[in-house]
A and B are shown apart, each in its own frame.
Chain A
């Protein structure tokens, strides 16, 4: 079974802290994605990566950066956390060269910034 794992299920950070969210997949997928999910707003894409060291901005990249140094790992970085970044963060992965396969999701990290 494909596994997408995220480093924490719950995280509490203070305003202004630098926050790292880690995601690892074991399916050798080229694509990896970071979304945030807020009530009433569905899933919003923050960044995605289609290869090692390659990234593209999603719909809401402001205040976030990403890093993909290895194929299996995709990190989301909040350079200076703010209270409006309190949210559920979901990581996902998929194949890049075929559209018939689904995107696989991790369990999510619920981040609270105080």
Chain B
């Protein structure tokens, strides 16, 4: 069945460091891929998405490229800020099973000043 695997956290970085959070997926068909962010005490909000192979999603300095050959959608940011501290979730959706979404387990990012 469809699933998403992302690296375990927490990830602790100093401000201005480079960030990578790994995400790989298993899916039949052609899924869309998403990164969501959750700030403390809030619901999830969309960070970026890519709907077909080789697409690059980007937002607020974060980027991720849909790699079909490696079934990956790694999240990157060149220079993190303290305000990026949050939990990040990788997710996929596919039209089998009524467009149900599949989420990774989440990666907590702590950025220290």
Interface positions of A (Cβ within 8 A of B): 4, 31, 33, 41-43, 45, 48, 50, 56, 90, 92, 94-100, 102-108
Contact = CB atoms under 8 A, between A and B. Distances in A.
Interface string B26-54: 00000110101000011111100101000
Contacts, number: 63
Instruction: Point out which of A4, A100, A106 has the most chain B C-beta atoms below 10 A from its C-beta.
Output: A100
Given A96-B98, A99-B32, A102-B49, A90 B103 contact: no
Contacts of B32: 99-100
Nearest to A41: B105
Interface residues of B, number: 25
Contacts of A103: 34, 91, 93, 101
B99 interface: yes
